[in-house]
């Protein structure tokens, strides 16, 4: 079997292993947030930061185009000067928690993405979200790490390969968006 076929087979199996009920629950959480004009904050590091930005852009634009009603979605990964200011003065582990402290209200939603589930700044952000009464959602891989344990809702991608986990997280974002649009169009 070629490396290409092997990789595609592994990604296909990892997608097939995604648990349906937690995905449905997150879709309902996001529908409710949109209906109630809540904010949704998305965050992550490295490849997960890119996924956070991509998913935030998709959710914000596509849901508004579909429904005519704005969806207040923000990727906390996109404010580079602010991230560097917090990291320089207070440490890298607070870059997301401090942003949440400034913007978040009880009932808002925080989607935290971490391949390992153990990124200190992601964990600190989820702890802040929980403390402030937000709904925390964790997307992780491997065994879920601490993120899967502390987030109110979580999806653990069944893989111990970071690239597959990151592939599936982006697919998860597109899957959730597609389901939201389908429900709004019914």
Which residues of the chain register pLDDT less than 50? none
Count of domains observed in the chain:
1
Taking only the tens place, the pLDDT of each residue in 65-118 is: 999 999 999 999 999 999 999 999 999 999 999 999 999 999 999 999 999 999
Q: How many residues does the chain have?
A: 186
pLDDT of residue 186: 83
Q: Walk across the sheet containing 72-75 and list its strands.
A: 72-75, 39-44, 109-114, 135-140, 153-156
pTM of the model: 0.97
pLDDT of residue 52: 98
Q: What is the DSSP string of 21-71?
A: HHHHHHHHHHHHHHHTT-EEEEEESTHHHHHHHHHHHHHHHHHHHHHSS--
- CATH number, domain containing residue 14: 3.40.50.10490
**Could you tell me the residue range of the domain that residue 65 belongs to?**
3-184
Half-sphere exposure of 23 (CA within 13 A, CB side): 20
pLDDT of residue 1: 80
Rounded distance, CA 33 to CA 27, Å?
Answer: 10
């Amino acid at each position: 079997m070629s490396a290409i076929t092997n990789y595609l087979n592994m990604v296909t199996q990892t997608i097939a292993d995604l648990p349906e009920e937690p995905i449905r629950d997150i879709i309902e959480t996001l529908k409710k947030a949109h209906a109630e004009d809540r904010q949704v904050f998305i965050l992550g590091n490295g490849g997960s930061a890119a996924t956070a930005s991509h998913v935030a852009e998709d959710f914000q634009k596509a849901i508004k185009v579909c429904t005519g009603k704005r969806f207040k979605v923000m990727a906390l990964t996109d404010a580079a000067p602010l991230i560097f200011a917090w990291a320089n003065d207070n440490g890298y582990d607070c870059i997301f928690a401090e942003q949440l402290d400034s913007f978040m209200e009880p009932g808002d939603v925080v989607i935290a993405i971490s391949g390992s589930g153990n990124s200190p700044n992601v964990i600190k952000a989820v702890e802040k979200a929980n403390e402030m009464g937000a709904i925390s959602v964790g997307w992780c891989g491997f065994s879920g790490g601490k993120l899967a344990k502390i987030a109110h809702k979580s999806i653990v991608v069944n893989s111990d390969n970071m690239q597959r986990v990151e592939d599936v997280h982006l697919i998860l974002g597109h899957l959730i968006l597609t389901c939201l649009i389908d429900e709004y169009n019914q």
